[in-house]
Structure 1
Amino acid sequence: MSTEPAETRRTTRVRRRTPPDPLHPPDPLHPPRTRAPLNPLSALDPRSLRWKIAALAAAASCAVAVAVGVLVHTTTYDWSLNVGRATALQALMSKATGAGGGDVSASASEDPAALPPELLRQVAVGKTVTWYDDTKPDEPWMWAAVRDNGRVLAVKMDMGAERRSLQALDRHIVMATLAALAIVMPLAALVAELSNRRLRRVAGTVRRIAGGDLDARIGAGGRTRDEIGEISAAVDSMASALQERLLAEQRFTADVAHELRTPLMGLITSAELLPEGEVTELVRDRVGVLRALVEDLLEISRLDAGAERADHVPVPLGGVVEESVRRTGLPARVEVTAHPMADTDPRRLDRIIANLVVNAHRHGRPPVEVSVRGTTIVVRDHGPGFPDTLLAEGPRRFRTGAKERGKGHGLGLTIALGQAQVIGAALDFANAPDGGAVATVRLEAGTRD
């Protein structure tokens, strides 16, 4: 039997919900905490919130370092200019008065040809001026000059030491900024990891709830009152409300099925007492349908309550499948390869195979083919295939593929999925590329209780 390529398959996995322990019931006020698995590759993902927070901290640190560095650089630069002007003016006064002292590094000149044109332009009669000459960055000078009686007396001081000190200060600021970033970024990533771990716990719990584990809770409690704590509390509240509603629905279904059994048995007995005839056969047929529906509802209620337990025994898988198909009374071609043995519950496996074959005839088209290869069983028909909603969401109870009943399917696939969960098998639903629905039971894919 041909099956579709792996890339075209859309499957529905089963997930078993652990029934509550009557001796150790869960505490709703202090639910167990779930540990979010850490993916090593996520630590290197630049889109991770961890690195976004670290980058934001680094950007803030750089902004602060640049602001402080510019302020320190400007302040130091202005201070060195002020000190140079004061020293140059003092040396100029000493040279003008002929007094000794003054800065020994200052040199005086009265030759206009030796003075810079810009300094000569700024010098006015009876006015002392200073000018910082940085036309040569490597040889800065501070000039002080005065014009008196037609002559200009100028003094210049070497500012190279101040320039080199300022450059050294800038280098130290850059090095200190880089050292601070080397410390701040890991610390920011570490602090962000604490929030990331809580968010991963929230996401993991939500995925568990979506997968069917209604007992999953984050368990944040009242220890944290931040936004993540509020989200955790909201998720736990939502899960509790969802669980209560689903349990109420399951109890209602079970109660209805149990209440219907007594009048149904009376109806069956009454139908058997009716005289033979066409009307009697019609009544008996409808009563049989109603009886099957009630039995299905009871079976679903037991599956929902987690009361079903598998009884695993070694069985010839091919023989069990052939007998299951034969008991349905429906035509189907069975192909068994190598007649494998399997450790499973034959009664529940029979229920799964029978439901899949009946569903293939009811909603598909012949020929219906059943193949057994190893511990994998494939049931295929040649009809329109499973609807997209089934492939995306899985079986839904009280839905069929008939247009008059709306979209979806009935109880057969829901029961098959639940029984597969009990025996620890995986049940996949897919559509073949050339048409038809394909249901695959993998006995080795599940976990035995």
Structure 2
Amino acid sequence: MALAATTAVAVVAVGMCVAAYLIVRTQLNHQLELNLTQYARLVAQRNHGAGPGVVSGECRFLAAPGCAQVVPADPRDDPGAPYVLPVTDTARAVAAGRRAPYYTKTTVAGHPARMLTTDLAPGRALQVAVRSDTVERGLHQVANLLTLTGAVGVVTAGFLGSWVARTGLAPVTRLTATAERIAATRDPRHRIALAPPGGGPAPEDEITRLAASFDTMLEELEKSVTARRRLVADASHELRTPLTALRTNAELLTRADRLTPQQRDRASAAVHRLLREVNGLVADLIELARDEEPRPLLERVALAPLLEHTVSTARDHWPGVPFELRVTAAPVVPGVPARLTRLIGNLLDNAAKFSPPGMPVRVGLDGNELTVRDHGPGIAEEDLPYVFDRFYRATTARALPGSGLGLAMALQIARAHGAELTAERAPGGGALFRLTFPG
């Protein structure tokens, strides 16, 4: 950026200096030509009838008015004395009337001069010249001043461009340093300082917006890393108890010859139960760790038959709990059938787990809204904000089977399908879960 800014300023400065020099040169030459024209008129008035020859030969003096001579169209009419100004065929053409008057540069007595050749009378031309030393010297001084000015401008532009580049790219430098620290420490808690070093609000520009977007990305990354770490910590805590019990029962079965048949049966049943529990917990953890299903895997799912199948499966799994199903309007939604079955199954299992014996679990489907209501103790007000958290177990649920992942998994599946899942206290007691699909 500094090089680009310096180059741009240099191009502009050089262009302006060249333009200024050309304008000054044009104006000085124009003024010199006006002086020549006036001098030619004065000489013509005084020497209108003069014959060929030198009229005034003072060009060798800078302060003198100049020199003048009359040139005939025919070289044979030239005087015997030499001319002080160069005579060319073009000058004789002006004398003969075949060419218009013109200006030209020449040298007189070793000094630069400006000469005008114009017509004087038929068959004669007048040549006048004045020294242009002052003009040449002035142009030389102007060129030196403009060159110096341009050089100073370019150097100043270089310093200013470097300062502007460093100041403007400071957020990018901090962003790079933050990214390098995160790559080295694997800690996404670092942030970019958006405010300038001297304090005050951050400027509103593209670089600052980039830094703000990077900070937002880091915040989301930190949340994701924290959630994964919490998931691993909670999973290790939840797995520790069943694995310890499984190991204890397995070690007990290795000494089966010392156990009674009843003890062996109890230990074997405990091993099988614990294996199922650990297997279910690991499956739930894998499900929670999965990302949202890719869009190509989505298909159109009719909710009514899927709900009937899920309720039928729940009846087999909970034979002591009656399930009442009511379908008013059955929509077709985009989704993954296996994951939707898991979502509804988790809601039904949760309702059946809390339902008293003989009390029904009511399942309703009305358009895009699915409700699951039980008649259990309900959800305490202090537990409502946390019912969908991973491994959260309410006080009334700690004595019941389960790992505390079912509702968290249901919420994740619902969000992956663009649906909304909420929990509330049902009128008359119990819990009511609402699953609303996008319309």
TM class by shorter chain equals: 0.3 to 0.5
Which one has more relative contact order, counting CA pairs under 8 Å at least 6 apart? 1
TM-score under structure 2 normalisation? 0.47
Bigger Rg, which one: 2
TM-score under structure 1 normalisation? 0.46
